[in-house]
Structure 1
Amino acid sequence: MSNGRNTTARHGRIDALDLARGIAILGTFATNVWIFTDPAGALGWLALDVERGAVETLLLTLSNGKFLALLSILFGVGLELQYRSAVRRGLRWPGRYLWRATLLLLEGALHYLLIFEFDVLTGYALVSVHVAFLVSRSDRVRRTWLAVAAAVHVTFVGLLTAASLSGAFSGAADGTASTRDAEYTAIAAYSSASWLDQVRTRIELAGFFRLEILLIVPLSTVLFLAGIEVLRAGAFEDSERGSRVRRRLLILGLGAGVPLNLVTAFAGPDWFFVDRYIVPPIVAFGLLAAVVEFAARTRGGVLRRGLIATGRAAMSCYVLQNLVAGALCYGWGLGLATLLADARPWWVLAAWAFVSALLMTLAALWLRAFSRGPLELLLHRLYTGGPKKVGEPV
C-alpha cells in the first residue's frame, strides 16, 4: 500500500468516491422504485396501514434509508473537497459556494414540482449552506454542531415514534388520507391523471410532501459533518490508517447496524421512523467502508465502470432515474404500476434492474465525450461561466 494516498485516484479524482456515489444513486432508486410502482403512488407508499409481505419487507430493508444516508455522507465528503480546492487556490470561502447552493435549491424545487414528491436536493441545498460555514471551523466547533444536530434528530424521531405507538397517526390518517379527495389524489393522480395533473397535485400537497425536510435537515447536518470527519480521518486513504478507520466503520455499520435494522424492519409500521431515519444511517457507514475496500482491492470490470460513470454523473442520474420510472409506472406513461400490480414484488426488481442498467449505460456513453453529466455541466456553467475541467472535484 502507498502511504496516505487516496484509494485508486485517477486524473485528480477518487475512484472509490465515484464508485460509492454511483452505488448510492442506484441504491436510493432501490427505495424509490417501490414508490413509483405503487398503484396509488406516493400517498399509497405513505399509508401506515399497508401490510407488506415478508419478501417485500426484506427487499425494502436492503435499501430503505441506507443509500440515501450514504449519499448524504458523500455530499459532506464532496463539500470538504470543494473547501480544500478553494483553499489551494486562495479563494474566499464559502464565497461563491453559496451561489452553487442556490442553484441546487432551484434544481431541487424543479425536480420536486415536475418529477418526484420526495426530492432530497432541496434539503441538501439548505443544509449545505450552514455546513459550508462549519467546514472551515475547528474540530471542536464542528463536532459540537454534529452532536447537537444528532440530539435534535434523535429527539424528533423519538417523539414521532412515541406518537405512532400511541395510535396518534392512525386517527390523523383516517381524518385526511381517507377522505374522498385524498382517495382521488392517491389513485387517480398516479394511475390515470396526466402529467400536468400530477404537477398540480404536488403544488396542492406541497406542505404534506415537503414535511420530510424537517427530518432531512438535522439528519443531513449530521451526515454531512460526518462525511467531513471520515475524509479527514483517512477513510479514503490507501494506508494503514485508512484500513484502520474502515475496519471500525465496518464493525459499526455492518456488525451493529445490520442486526438492528432487521429488528426494526419487522417490528411493524409503528417503528417506521426508527427504521428509516435512525438505523440506516448507521449501516451507511459500513457500506461506505465496504465500497472503499472493494475499490482498493479490485480493478476494471463492466459493472465497476458503469457504477463509477453513474457516480460521476450523480445528479443527472438521480433526476433521470425518477423521470424514467415515472414514464414507466404512471398513467401519463406506460401505466405499469397499475397493469402489473399483481406481479409485485418481483416486477419491482425487474424495473429497478432495467433502469439501473440504462443509467449506467447512458452515463458511460455520455462521459466518453464530456467530463461530467449534463446537469452537472449546466450547473457548473451557471456557477462559474465556464466549462468543467476534467478531474475537478465535485
Structure 2
Amino acid sequence: MGEARDSAARIEALDVLRGIAILGIMLLNIRGMGSVPGVESDPRIAGWGLADHIVWWTQQLFVEGTMRGLLSLLFGAGFVILASRPRDGRSALSIYYRRMAALILFGLIHGYLLMWPGDILLIYGIAGLFLFPFRELPARALIGLGLGGIAVMVAIGAAAVVEGMNTREHAEAAIAAGAGEEDERVAAWQDYLAAVQPDLEADARSRAARQGSLADNLAYKMAIANEWNGIKGLSWWSLDALAMMLLGAGLFKAGFLGGGLPRDVYLRIALAGYAVGVPINFIESEQLVAAGFMVPIPVSEVTYQIGRLATTLAHVGLVLATLRTVRGRCVLGIFAAPGRMALSTYVGETLIAQWLLFPGFALGLHGRISIAESWLIALGIAVVLTALCRWWLGRFRMGPLEWLWRWLTYGQRPAFKRI
C-alpha cells in the first residue's frame, strides 16, 4: 500500500508540473496569437508602458523557453512510464508508434485547421519517433544524450555567431577600402541587419488577414504554418524537443522528476538553477534593450539553451519542493486537473484565442492589445480552463482529446464516463 501511495504521489507531481507548463505556455503563445509578427523582435510595437516593461522582463527572465522545456521534460517522463506498462501481449513498438502517429495528426489539424502555426504537437510527434530506441537506457546515459543534444544546439549557435562576426568584419573592411552598397560583402551585411528588423509589411498583412473573414484567417495561418514547417524548422525544433525529452526520461529514471527526492535537495537545485539561468537570461535581455531590440549578433545564439535549461530545472525544483508540504499540495494541486487534460487544455487555449478573441469574424482583438494586456487575458483563460477541467474530470475519466488519443493508440474505445 505504501508503494502504491508513493506511485500515485509521483504521478500527481507530474500532473501538477504538466498543468503549470500547459497553462504557462499560453503566456508566450498569446503574443503570437494576438499581436502582429513584429512584436516577436520588438515588443514596443504593441505598447511599452510600465506594466509592459514589467511583464516583458518577467517573461524574459523566468518564462521564455521554460514552459516548452518543462513540457519536453515531462514528455520524456511520460515516455518512460508508457514504455514500462504491461502490453497484454501487444507489441510495445506498434502501440508507441501509433501514439506518435496520432500526435502528429493532432498537430497537423491544430496547426493548419485550428489556425495555430506555433503548434508543438507536430514537433513532439516527430521528435518522439526517435525516442523509442532509447527506452531501456539507464538514467545516466539518457541524461548524457540529452545534454549532448543541447551541446550540439549551443555549438550551432556559436557557429552562427562566428558567421555573423565574419560577415560584419568583411563588410567593414570593404567599406574602409571604399566599396559601396553594391559590393557583395556590404550587401551581405545589410541583408543580415534587415533580418533582425521588424517587417512592417508583414505586420500590415497580419492585421488585414486577421481582421478579415474565416477564409482570410485560414489562408493566412496556413501560409505561416507552411513556412514554419519546412525541413529546416522542423529539424531544429525536433532536436530541441528530443534533447529535452531524453533529459526528462533520464531525470525521471533518476528519481528527480517524479518528486521522490527530499525537499532540501529540490530547494538546492532550484537555487542553483536560478543562480545560473537568471543572470544568463538577464544578459541576453539587456543586450536587446541596449540595442533597441535590433541585435544582429545576439549572445543568446550561444547562451539561450543553457539559460533556459537552468531556469526550467529551477522551476521544477521549486514546484516539487513546494509539493513536499501540505500547504503547497493544496495550492499547487489545482494545476493537476489541466495537467491530466493537457492535450485538451492546449487545444482549448487555441480555440479561445484563435476562434473567439482575436479574429475579425469574432471579437477582433488582434493587434489591439499590449503585452501586459495579453498576460491578463492568458491568466483569465487559465482560470476558465482550470475550472472547466476540474468540472469535467468530476464527470468523466479523461479529457475528450485524451480519450480520442488513447482510442487511436490502442485501437479500443476506452471507458469515458464515470460510473
TM-score scaled by length of structure 1 = 0.83
1:99 partnered with 2:98:
yes
Q: Deviations over 1:292-321 (max 9, x none)?
A: 121221358775343110100001111111
Q: 1:202 to 1:66 in 2, by over 3 A?
A: same
Verify: 1:293 aligned to 2:321, yes or no: yes
* Alignment map for 1:61-210 (pairs within 5 Å): 61=60, 62-86=62-86, 92-113=91-112, 114-137=114-137, 142-143=142-143, 145-161=145-161, 166=168, 169-172=192-195, 177=199, 180=201, 182-190=202-210, 192-210=211-229
Letter in structure 2 aligned against 1:58: W
Q: Is the contact between residue 163 and residue 169 of structure 1 (CA under 8 Å) also seen in structure 2?
A: no
Match of residue 258, structure 1, among 278, 288, 296: 278
Q: 1:1-394 alignment to 2 at 5 Å?
A: 9=8, 14-38=11-35, 40=36, 43-47=37-41, 53=48, 54-61=53-60, 62-86=62-86, 92-113=91-112, 114-137=114-137, 142-143=142-143, 145-161=145-161, 166=168, 169-172=192-195, 177=199, 180=201, 182-190=202-210, 192-210=211-229, 212-236=233-257, 241-243=261-263, 246-247=266-267, 249-268=269-288, 269=293, 270=295, 271=298, 273=301, 277-298=305-326, 304-326=332-354, 327-338=356-367, 340-341=368-369, 344-388=370-414
Do the aligned residues in 1 keep the contact of 2:77 with 2:257 (CA within 8 Å)?
Answer: no
Write out per-residue CA displacement over residues 26-79 of structure 1, whole angstroms, 9 at most, x where no aligned residue. 1111111222231x2xx2333469678532421322321111101110110111
Instruction: Rate the CA distance shift 1:90–1:376 in 2: closer, same or farther, 3 A.
Output: same
Once the two structures are superposed, residues 81-108 of structure 1 have per-residue CA deviations (whole angstroms, 9 ceiling, x without a partner) of: 1011147x56543331101100000100
Q: Amino acid of the residue matched to residue 366 of structure 2?
A: A
**CA 1:366/1:118 → structure 2, altered by over 3 Å: closer, same or farther?**
same
Coordinate RMSD, CA, aligned? 3.2
In 2, Cα distance between the equivalents of 1:37 and 1:193? 14
Distance 1:59 1:212, change over 3 A: farther
For the residue of structure 1 that corresponds to 2:93, the secondary structure is coil
* Pair 1:346–1:48, CA change in 2 (3 A): closer
- 3-state SS of paired residue (2:137): coil
SS of the aligned residue for 1:188 comes to helix
Structure 1 unaligned blocks of 5 or more:
none
- Name the SS of the counterpart of 1:365 in structure 2: helix
Paired with 1:214 and 1:252, the residues of 2 have a C-alpha distance of 31
Contact 1:7–1:15 (Cα < 8 Å) also in 2: no
Q: Is the 8 A contact 1:250 1:289 kept in 2?
A: yes
- Structure 1 window deviating more from structure 2 (380-389 vs 121-130): it is 380-389
Q: CA deviation at 1:120?
A: 0.8
**3-state secondary structure, aligned to 1:94:** helix
Sequence identity of aligned pairs in percent? 23
Larger Cα Rg: Structure 1 or Structure 2?
2
> Where does the alignment leave 5 or more consecutive residues of structure 2 unmatched?
169-188
Equivalent position amino acid for 1:99 in 2: R
Shift of 1:253: 1.9
- Measured in 2, the distance between the counterparts of 1:108 and 1:131 equals 18
Amino acid at match of 1:206: A
Q: What is the SS of the residue equivalent to 2:25?
A: helix
